[in-house]
Amino acid sequence: MEFIVNNESMTLELGSKLGSLLNKGDIICLNGDLGTGKTHFAKGIAKGLLIDEYITSPTFNIVNEYTGRLKLYHFDVYRVNDPDEIYAIGFDEYIFSDAVSIIEWSSYIEELIPDEHISISIEKLPSRGIDFRKIVINHVGDRYNYIEGITL
Ligand SMILES: Nc1ncnc2c1ncn2[C@@H]1O[C@H](COP(=O)(O)OP(=O)(O)OP(=O)(O)O)[C@@H](O)[C@H]1O
Ligand SMILES: [Mg+2]
């Protein structure tokens, strides 16, 4: 599924719609260049999970933890130099749990990502305008068929 958004609020709204549908143990991979809006999309997901806490980028601590309707682990693996580093923090115990896991820059640790997951890629559309983004949502695994009805 592909969505064109033209401001930050629309990205939050789409994230929130996804977040409100998520189930225990769901894994969401977020990829896209620096500053495309991955963390804003994650903020939307958190809103949809009824998390009241302020979501900050976990770049320096790799993972932040929140609790709403479900538990949320928000990873940013941009600064991870070697997948072994993230493996060492007990990555598997986080992602194979009842929590929802969001992983920014998951492509950096592709070999650690389970086959079945939701993947979101965000791209700037500079020719359309500074705040325009193309957000593509895909999934592997029937357990995620429920996302197919999302509309903006
Ligand atoms: N349509 C949009 N959706 C999301 N963010 C937007 C949009 N238009 C402009 N922005 C701006 O782009 C920036 C996105 O920042 P954000 O931290 O969410 O990106 P990121 O992809 O997580 O970056 P990083 O790779 O550094 O983690 C914010 O400053 C936001 O205000
Ligand atoms: Mg970010």
Mean pLDDT by 10 residues, the chain (152 residues): 98 98 98 98 98 89 95 95 88 97 96 97 98 98 96 94
CA dist., res. 31 & res. 23, Å (int) = 21
Number of structural domains the chain divides into: 1
For residue 112, the domain's CATH number is 3.40.50.300
Cα 37 to averaged position of ligand 1 atoms, centre (Å):
3
Considering every ligand atom, which ligand is closest to the CA of 129?
1
Q: What is the model's pLDDT at position 61? A: 82
CA dist., res. 48 & res. 32, Å (int) = 21
- The label of the residue with tokens 């009241």 reads 52
CA dist., res. 129 & res. 105, Å (int) = 24
Which domain range does residue 113 map to?
2-149
Q: Where does ligand 1 bind, in terms of residues with CB under 6 Å?
A: 5, 7-8, 11, 32, 34-40, 57, 104, 131, 133
CA dist., res. 46 & res. 58, Å (int) = 14
Q: How many residues does the chain have?
A: 152
Structure tokens at 77: 């693996």
Instruction: Report the nearest-CA residue for atom 18 of ligand 1.
Output: 37
Q: What is the model's pLDDT at position 59? A: 74
pTM above threshold 0.75:
yes
